[in-house]
Amino acid sequence: MQQVEFRSGADTVRGDLYLPEGEGPFPVVVMAGGWCYVKELRQPHYALRFNEVGCAALVFDYRRLGASDGEPRQHIDPWDQIEDYRSAISFVAAQPGIDETRIATWGISYSGGHSLTVAARESRVAAAISIVAVVDGYENMRRVHGRDGFRALLAAVEADRERRAAGEPGAYIPMSAPDHWQTVCTWPFPEVDTIFNELKASEAPRHEHRNTIESVELLLQYSVFPYLPRLLDTPVLMIVADADDLTLWDKEIEAFNLIPTPRKQLAVIGGTDHMDIYSDLSHLDIAAARCAQWLSGELGSSRSGERATGEAVAAST
């Protein structure tokens, strides 16, 4: 693994480049995490699995998170993050040993949506992987918070907008909280608080379990749906957990059905919710193996001109 850095906007972004054994040029997967992720949080498991099938992987921290520069810290702007992906593609495409014609995007949760949007906007992307994706921020927040919780969240967003309009700094809320019915937070699931803080202690010490309130305002404006019609011929793999009520499995499948390319595949992991893919290594391994298998076939076929057909595959535990 090589530590690397590159510019995105006015800031320095830092990441880790995982190279497989052997001689290149290698296909490469450009990877970044979801809400408040840092590059050490579960993503190396996928990167190493990609190395096993001969793919390099670049895992990076967005601006304002983890090892990367940028202020205010923990401010999550999805459009800046999408630009960070594009900057990462520019960086890795210029590296020795990398095949710039075989670049894939990979994303999970919030970045699961980014992966699709980047692929729709970026001609250099040869394939895209999206796992348990956020696809419609407003509907996601409205549904998971419920009536009273959503009202409280919107009130916090409006109060923060007023503070910033008066020249005061924006405020922060927790990413999640164990007492979410009393504490306004972004993702009102106690297991999110438990699992992410366990991962912070075990493998991702740079993780901070908070975000600016303005980040939530931007999430409420976020949707991948305008970009899906552009995925005309890009291979896409979407992985959905059948019990995912955090990022809404039904909205994810709705998004999958609107992607026009015949070169798409839907993998459903049975008996699994959103956080199982983080907390349970057996579920993570199923997702990682499915990604690696599909990626190996798609990036290999891109060299020979073979085409895959659209299909749905059920992956069970």
pLDDT tens figures, 12-28: 999 999 999 998 899 99
Both 36 and 67 in a single domain? yes
Of the candidates 151, 185, 219, which is a domain's last residue?
Answer: 219
Both 268 and 150 in a single domain? no
Query: How confident is the model at residue 245, as a pLDDT?
Result: 96
Residue by residue, DSSP assigns the chain as -EEEEEEETTEEEEEEEE--SS-SPEEEEEEE-STT--TTSSHHHHHHHHHHTT-EEEEEPPTTSTTS--SSTT---HHHHHHHHHHHHHHHHTSTTEEEEEEEEEEETHHHHHHHHHHHH-TTEEEEEEES---BHHHHHHHHHHHHHHHHHHHHHHHHHHHHHTTPPP-EEES--TTTTTS--SS--HHHHHHHHHHHHHT-TT--SEEEHHHHHHHTT-BSTTTGGG-SS--EEEEEETT-TTTTHHHHHHHHHH---SSEEEEEETT--TTHHHH-HHHHHHHHHHHHHHHHHHHHHHHHT-----EEEEE--
pLDDT (tens digit per residue) in 58-110: 999 999 999 999 999 999 999 999 999 999 999 999 999 999 999 999 999 99
Both 134 and 149 in a single domain? no
CATH code for position 306 = 3.40.50.1820
Both 194 and 249 in a single domain? no
Both 187 and 233 in a single domain? no
pLDDT over threshold 80, residue 315: no
**Contact residues for 3 (Cβ-Cβ < 8 A; gap 6+):** 14, 15, 16, 17
Both 235 and 96 in a single domain? yes
Instruction: Report which of 234, 240, 242, 243 is spatially closest to residue 255, judged by C-alpha positions.
Output: 240
pLDDT over threshold 60, residue 284: yes
Query: How confident is the model at residue 181, as a pLDDT?
Result: 85
Both 193 and 270 in a single domain? no
Both 267 and 213 in a single domain? no
Both 77 and 63 in a single domain? yes
- Over residues 169-193, the mean pLDDT reads 95
Of the candidates 182, 201, 219, which is a domain's last residue?
Answer: 219
User: Cβ(2)–Cβ(17) under 8 Å?
Assistant: yes
User: Cβ(268)–Cβ(242) under 8 Å?
Assistant: yes
CA dist 38 and 31 (Å) reads 11
Both 90 and 235 in a single domain? yes
Both 213 and 243 in a single domain? no
Both 163 and 43 in a single domain? no
Question: Could you tell me what percent of the chain has a pLDDT over 90?
Answer: 91
Instruction: Report which of 247, 237, 253, 299 is spatially closest to residue 277, judged by C-alpha positions.
Output: 247
Of the candidates 159, 191, 219, which is a domain's last residue?
Answer: 219
Query: How confident is the model at residue 311, as a pLDDT?
Result: 45
The residue range of the domain holding 69 is: 2-138+224-315
CA dist 286 and 291 (Å) reads 9
CA dist 278 and 287 (Å) reads 10
- Over residues 279-284, the mean pLDDT reads 90
Q: What is the mean pLDDT of the chain?
A: 94
Q: In whole angstroms, what separates CA 224 from the centre of its chain?
A: 12
Could you give the number of structural domains in the chain? 2
